[in-house]
Amino acid sequence: MKAFLWILVAILWIPFTYWTVRYLRKLRNQPSGRIIYRRGVLGYGVPFWLGSLIVTLAIIPERDIYFLLYWTAIYLYFLFPVCLWAGYFWGKGMSAIFPGAHDR
């Protein structure tokens, strides 16, 4: 039963990831969403994901290439959409704090 639930979550995560990327890419075409996309999603979400991946790969005790690829795949699959949403909320908060800032 536990394995079934993990497989179900893994399968249901694929449409969520696809929807996340699609929604955030559509956001960059909106006038108010351009700042959120560039400064939040691209400026905070993607570097947050890369930084957490690099730190994780640096501190794991096993340096086998398959183990590193395993953790990279896990981080790409599960953490990437979460980091994009963190960047979205970061950008939304910063655009509310600094409303006059325009993206150049």
Residue pair 46/91 in contact (Cβ under 8 Å)? The answer is no
Distances, alpha carbon 82 to alpha carbons 33, 62, 66, 102, in Å: 18, 26, 24, 26
CA distance 32 to 76: 28
How much of the chain exceeds pLDDT 70, in percent?
95
Q: How confident is the model at residue 43 (pLDDT cuts 50, 70, 90)?
A: very high
Single-letter code of the amino acid located at 96: A
Higher-pLDDT residue of 82 and 32 is 82
**pLDDT band, residue 95 (cuts 50/70/90):** confident
Mean pLDDT on 22-36: 88
For the cut 60, the answer to whether the pLDDT of residue 104 exceeds it is no
b/e sequence 73-98, b meaning 16+ C-beta within 10 Å? eebeeebbbbbbbbbbebbbebbeee
pLDDT average, residue stretch 67-71: 85
